[in-house]
Structure 1
Amino acid sequence: MSGASCSSSSDRRGQNPSSSVGLSAEFSGAGEEDCAAAARSWCDEGKLLIPGLPNDLAILCIARLPRGMFPLLRLVSSAWKRAVSSETFRLLRHQGGFLQGWIYVLVESATGAAFRAFDPDANRWYNMSPVPANISSETWQGFACVALDSKLILMGGARRIYNEATQQLGQVEVCGDVFIYDAFRNKWQRGPSLTTPRGWFAAAAIGDFVYVAGGQGRSCFLDSAEVLDYREKRWHQMPSMHCVRSSCRGTVLNGQFWVIAGEVVINNYGDHPQRASAEFFNPASKSWTLIPEMWLDSHKVALARSQNLLVVHQSKLMRYDPELNEWDHIGHISTGKLYNRSSYRFGFALECLGDKLYVIGGRIESWQNRNRSSIQPVSTAEVCHLGTASNSKFTRWNSVADMKDSSGIILASATVLL
């Protein structure tokens, strides 16, 4: 294990194994006293996490280990289990820059756990803990999925509600339910319900806040919006949008919550717009700004957020220029597994992680002739380096680990850091 914080302890013999010996600058934000106190609580008296190292230094070494090893680390001893499961451990990974992003996807047809998690560093897929039993076997549509630090949050949608009295599934109903997956503890729990039940709406997370807007309510389409203060575990009403929107898309750009397309009433902001509008919410001014004719005229697009807003439009990789309200063509989807003249891939996940863009799952529609086609589910995943997308408009795609027993349309996706 590398790093100055894991240096030799030969000059510290005779010290209490849990005593604080001074943290390196990169971890100073965690607090020396907090780290030392936590180290004392993790270990039985006189026992070391790593022989030869004070426990507050040992935990810094453990914090550098890959995320995929966490289940094994918890099996080493009861002290290691307490250490790796502590909030201080998570904070140390954050402060030290050791967070790793995993891509979580919900596949329309999957064997075992419906959600899968992809570890890019190990090039491996993992099954997640099942969604709570009362929704795992239901038809659930129109929900939103966002990532907030190490949390995966599912909200709203339309599903069959389980009737405890009859022990049967009832009619499909738009709901305000919220389920939160804690990747750190590998557990699901219920969160505070939406103030307004809604489905097919936009959602995104900024800091400790989750924003939702638009969608379909129980009796009408919506222009309303609300925000979850995750620390308070409370929803608060927001100003309504300019347009009533459903089946809209949400993302974050320049620290603002963007709601894209989905207008229920078209042409209410211009004479003959050729593209759908968008609007963004500024948390500082608490106001919405309308962007006419922003969205590409296509029903089969995918959305990703890195430092830019990206879409796959037909066979082109496009990047949004917010200053000019234009889309720049920066690359192509490769032929073969993704696109070629006789096949078309749709319903896939598009996720950014650093400078890499991942395309996962979906379906491929292949044409045998002008009047005959077939649709096949896809379990493959591909990645490209966004740095290679240049004026040449050439993007090289490489295959990564296959989902194997999970294939088809990706109902939700998000990147969770831990």
Structure 2
Amino acid sequence: MSWSSGSESEESASPNNLIPSLPDDVALNCLGRIPRSQHPTLSLVSKPIRTLLSSPILFTTRTLLQCTQPLLYLTLRSRHSSLLQFFTLHRTNPNNPLLAPLPPIPSPAVGSAYAVLGPTIYVLGGSIHDVPSPNVWLLDCRFNRWLRGPSMRVGREFAAAGVLHGKIYVLGGCVADTWSRSANWAEVLDPATGQWERVASPTEVREKWMHASAVVGERIYAMADRGGIAYEPSSGAWESVGVELDHGWRGRACVVEGILYCYDYLGKIKGFDVGRGVWEELKGLEKGLPRFLCGATMADLGGKLCVVWECQGNENEMEIWCAEIGVKKNSDGELWGQLVWFGKVLSVPKGSSIVNCSSVSL
């Protein structure tokens, strides 16, 4: 099976008679505008439409029509199992959002890095039986199926990853104790060729554990054991991040409209303006959301800040909650959040944990 998530041979050809009495190109234009949340119902209409829904041509059409929608993908790990559970969030009923399960990853690992490119989530490395792996798995979110990707040059766990200009960069996650590991401490994948290439890196930045990462502007930022680093692929420059960003970055972060968001030691959401070099509290949410003292996971959901966190449920269960927040600067230049919705989306066995959340436009 090919690793590529691009065009899928000629099964992508448009089927005939999509809508009786309409030319197929007109019918495709109409069907491409129907929200993805309605596709399960749409598949029951006819066999030609069902075939279309499993064809890349529909997603190409939706992109050309600018009808794609951001969807949240969530990865959970059970306390008593090495298996990872993958879900996507459906909001067909705004008052009853639902996390729908997806097929399990063929080879689960601990400490994988995640990156999103187009309709695909890349799961990079992670340890299998305590051994760092170079494996790469791709979740093609159009069809909810897993594909094997091109292996990295070295095994990694708890690496940093980021996407810039259509290429996937991965930093760290390996002990730079041999020439091979040192030379390949950072590497880049060009999906067009399916090849990983080493990225030259100075000795002073080669930490093993990378706790968090994000792409802001033209740079990939990563937080390591001792301080953070920034890499600019266009110039090949590496540098340490400033003290303000280093001290304030806590937990998993995301970037919305150029502002990096995470939470502080008091559990409040805050944003970092890289240009100004300062942190600011995201105001306007004081009465709407809890304080994230136990952490939260964040994603850019189509220009809105999506926050996912764990809550105590009953004696044997834990609850997963989600919030969608509109973020902007008010007339005084302050970061301001407007709560769009929030609520419980899933109950899981006690001891489960959120591994990752990503946004994919489909």
TM-score, normalization by structure 1: 0.71
Match of residue 115 from structure 1: 86
Return the match for 1:231 from 184, 192, 198: 192
Return the match for 1:383 from 291, 312, 324: 324
SS at 2:243 equivalent: strand
Q: Size of the alignment, in residue pairs?
A: 336
Question: What amino acid is aligned across from residue 251 of structure 2 in structure 1?
Answer: V
1:108-147 correspondence runs (5 A): 108-109=77-78, 114-120=85-91, 122-123=93-94, 124-135=97-108, 140-147=109-116
Once the two structures are TM-superposed, the CA of residue 350 in structure 1 deviates from its matched residue by 1.1
Match of residue 135 from structure 2: 177
SS at 1:93 equivalent: helix
Match of residue 14 from structure 2: 42
Question: What amino acid is aligned across from residue 153 of structure 2 in structure 1?
Answer: T
SS at 1:71 equivalent: helix
Return the match for 2:174 from 216, 219, 229: 216
Return the match for 2:211 from 248, 256, 260: 248
SS at 2:345 equivalent: coil
1:16-415 correspondence runs (5 A): 41-44=13-16, 48-109=17-78, 114-120=85-91, 122-123=93-94, 124-135=97-108, 140-160=109-129, 172-217=130-175, 224-241=185-202, 242-245=204-207, 246-259=209-222, 261-263=223-225, 266=226, 276-281=227-232, 283-297=233-247, 300-307=250-257, 308-313=259-264, 314-331=266-283, 334=286, 338-339=290-291, 344-362=292-310, 377-387=318-328, 391=332, 395-397=337-339, 399-406=341-348, 408-415=352-359
SS at 2:87 equivalent: strand
Question: What amino acid is aligned across from residue 42 of structure 1 in structure 2?
Answer: S
Do the aligned residues in 2 keep the contact of 1:107 with 1:409 (CA within 8 Å)? Answer: yes
Once the two structures are TM-superposed, the CA of residue 131 in structure 1 deviates from its matched residue by 2.2
Note closer, same or farther for the CA distance 1:390–1:402 as it changes in structure 2 (3 Å cut): farther
Structure 1 vs Structure 2 CA RMSD: 3.3
TM-score, normalization by structure 2: 0.81
Once the two structures are TM-superposed, the CA of residue 332 in structure 1 deviates from its matched residue by 6.3
Once the two structures are TM-superposed, the CA of residue 304 in structure 1 deviates from its matched residue by 1.0
Do the aligned residues in 2 keep the contact of 1:319 with 1:330 (CA within 8 Å)? Answer: yes
Do the aligned residues in 1 keep the contact of 2:125 with 2:136 (CA within 8 Å)? Answer: yes
Question: What amino acid is aligned across from residue 280 of structure 1 in structure 2?
Answer: Y
Residue deviations 1:1-38 (CA, integer Å, cap 9, x gap) = xxxxxxxxxxxxxxxxxxxxxxxxxxxxxxxxxxxxx9
Between the aligned partners of 1:378 and 1:40, the Cα distance in structure 2 is 40
Do the aligned residues in 1 keep the contact of 2:88 with 2:102 (CA within 8 Å)? Answer: no
Between the aligned partners of 2:157 and 2:128, the Cα distance in structure 1 is 10
Structure with the greater alpha carbon radius of gyration:
1
Between the aligned partners of 1:91 and 1:56, the Cα distance in structure 2 is 13
Q: Which structure is richer in relative contact order (CA contacts within 8 A, separation 6 or more)?
A: 2
Once the two structures are TM-superposed, the CA of residue 98 in structure 1 deviates from its matched residue by 0.6
Once the two structures are TM-superposed, the CA of residue 107 in structure 1 deviates from its matched residue by 1.8
Do the aligned residues in 2 keep the contact of 1:105 with 1:115 (CA within 8 Å)? Answer: yes
SS at 1:94 equivalent: helix
Match of residue 4 from structure 2: none
Between the aligned partners of 2:310 and 2:331, the Cα distance in structure 1 is 26
Match of residue 30 from structure 1: none
Once the two structures are TM-superposed, the CA of residue 219 in structure 1 deviates from its matched residue by 5.9
Between the aligned partners of 2:46 and 2:149, the Cα distance in structure 1 is 32
Between the aligned partners of 1:151 and 1:378, the Cα distance in structure 2 is 27
SS at 1:52 equivalent: coil
Match of residue 165 from structure 1: none
Residue deviations 1:296-347 (CA, integer Å, cap 9, x gap) = 43674330112121222133332222223222333265357522xxxx5323
Between the aligned partners of 2:304 and 2:93, the Cα distance in structure 1 is 15
Once the two structures are TM-superposed, the CA of residue 240 in structure 1 deviates from its matched residue by 1.2
Question: What amino acid is aligned across from residue 270 of structure 2 in structure 1?
Answer: M
Between the aligned partners of 2:128 and 2:11, the Cα distance in structure 1 is 45
Residue deviations 1:223-250 (CA, integer Å, cap 9, x gap) = 8211111122111111115512323322
Question: What amino acid is aligned across from residue 411 of structure 1 in structure 2?
Answer: V
Between the aligned partners of 1:285 and 1:299, the Cα distance in structure 2 is 25
Note closer, same or farther for the CA distance 1:334–1:83 as it changes in structure 2 (3 Å cut): same
Do the aligned residues in 2 keep the contact of 1:383 with 1:399 (CA within 8 Å)? Answer: yes
SS at 1:79 equivalent: helix
Once the two structures are TM-superposed, the CA of residue 197 in structure 1 deviates from its matched residue by 0.7
Residue deviations 1:235-276 (CA, integer Å, cap 9, x gap) = 1111115512323322111133222x214xx4xxxxxxxxx3
Match of residue 169 from structure 1: none
Once the two structures are TM-superposed, the CA of residue 94 in structure 1 deviates from its matched residue by 0.8
Do the aligned residues in 2 keep the contact of 1:145 with 1:203 (CA within 8 Å)? Answer: yes
Between the aligned partners of 2:206 and 2:176, the Cα distance in structure 1 is 15
Most deviating of 144-153 and 199-208: 199-208
Between the aligned partners of 1:378 and 1:405, the Cα distance in structure 2 is 5
SS at 1:405 equivalent: strand
SS at 1:331 equivalent: coil
Do the aligned residues in 2 keep the contact of 1:315 with 1:333 (CA within 8 Å)? Answer: no
Once the two structures are TM-superposed, the CA of residue 133 in structure 1 deviates from its matched residue by 4.2
SS at 1:387 equivalent: strand
Q: Which runs of 5+ in 1 are unaligned?
A: 1-37, 161-171, 267-275, 365-373
Do the aligned residues in 2 keep the contact of 1:278 with 1:293 (CA within 8 Å)? Answer: no
Note closer, same or farther for the CA distance 1:247–1:377 as it changes in structure 2 (3 Å cut): farther
Percent of aligned pairs with the same amino acid = 21
Note closer, same or farther for the CA distance 1:345–1:291 as it changes in structure 2 (3 Å cut): closer
Note closer, same or farther for the CA distance 1:51–1:225 as it changes in structure 2 (3 Å cut): same
Between the aligned partners of 1:317 and 1:80, the Cα distance in structure 2 is 44
Residue deviations 1:205-238 (CA, integer Å, cap 9, x gap) = 2242111001234968968211111122111111
